[in-house]
Amino acid sequence: MSWGPSRRSVLLATANAALLRWQDFSAVRIEQIAKGLTFTEGPAWSKDGYLIFSDTPADRLMKWVPGQDAAVYRTDAHGPSGNAFDSDGRLYTCETRTRRVTRTEKDGKIEVLAEKWEGKRLNAPNDIAVAKNGHAWFTDPAFGDQQDQRELDFYGVYQIPSHGALKLAVKMTTRPNGIALSPNGRILYVADSDRRAVLAYDLERGGEAANERVLIAKIVGVPGGIRVDAQGNLYIAAKGVAIYSPEGRLLRAIEMHDRVSNVGFGGADMKSLFVTGGEALYRVRLAPQGPGNG
């Protein structure tokens, strides 16, 4: 039996995609690039060539430039946690102490994007993901003492549209943590710290999250931040960093000395995985295909 050129092209493209997805994660290099901090969170790479991350208990945002020591980017940062940049280079930050989400413009002006839902203050925004179209999604759990300040009787995942009012995307009885988007922007991933799982949702045209399902169950450790590479593989901060295929199959577990809180892609080639947790910031090289950024 013979196949025509179009049939062969489809099969070859499928095979190549499979090879890229099941890439070899055996070679891993871990480098500590900052230390002496309090507890780090929320690594986010700027297209201007630097990394922003949070030193949450110390109430400050930090900046790391390749070849330099980490330096303070902003003090009095209101207990910053997750960070993300949009396609215009603006910085989004989840502030746990003020219980809000802010956006820092290129000129340094800070705008409050979300702080209340139906007249009640948010719990403690934790992590955020920004799509290429400008829509942002963030998680709103409550951990430790944050539980005592709650005004809402649920935990949530919210959407900040590029235009329009705040939307409640998912209402939860368990606590969401990390959040990420698939490369095509059609699937929303949420780490559920209480269930030790990663949930997946289909994003509808209006931004509604539908068809909730457990993509990954029984994660070792408490799942925190999530990032997705260009092939759709998920990198999950838990006990170390666990790498899963888009179908939820474990590809690799990277052991880390510190408790890991979050991860993020960056560097000149966008193939470095920055890992926060404990008193340090790490850079991991394992030749992934770079971020998905749906």
pLDDT tens digits for range 128-175: 999 998 999 999 999 988 888 899 999 999 999 988 899 999 999 999
Per-residue pLDDT, 294: 57
Alpha carbons 29 and 16: distance in angstroms, whole number: 26
- Please indicate, yes or no, if residue 10 is contained in any of the structural domains: no
What's the whole-number average pLDDT of the chain?
89
* Structure confidence by residue, pLDDT tens digits, 227-239: 999 999 999 999 9
Per-residue pLDDT, 13: 36
Per-residue pLDDT, 237: 97
- Please indicate, yes or no, if residue 9 is contained in any of the structural domains: no
- Please indicate, yes or no, if residue 16 is contained in any of the structural domains: no
Per-residue pLDDT, 195: 97
- Please indicate, yes or no, if residue 293 is contained in any of the structural domains: no
- Please indicate, yes or no, if residue 134 is contained in any of the structural domains: yes
- Please indicate, yes or no, if residue 167 is contained in any of the structural domains: yes
Q: Which CATH number characterizes residue 207's domain? A: 2.120.10.30
Instruction: Give the range of the structural domain holding residue 115, as residue numbers without chain letter.
Output: 25-285
Contact 127/237 with Cβ under 8 angstroms? no
- Please indicate, yes or no, if residue 62 is contained in any of the structural domains: yes
- Please indicate, yes or no, if residue 11 is contained in any of the structural domains: no
**Domains in the chain: how many in total?**
1
Alpha carbons 25 and 8: distance in angstroms, whole number: 29
pTM check: above 0.85: yes
Per-residue pLDDT, 16: 36
Return per-residue pLDDT of the chain as tens, 294 residues: 333 433 333 333 333 333 334 445 557 889 999 999 999 999 999 999 999 999 999 999 999 999 999 999 999 999 999 999 999 999 999 999 999 999 999 999 999 999 999 999 999 999 999 999 899 999 999 998 888 889 999 999 999 998 889 999 999 999 999 999 999 999 999 999 999 999 999 998 777 899 999 999 999 999 999 999 999 999 999 999 999 999 999 999 999 888 899 999 999 999 999 999 999 999 998 765 567 765
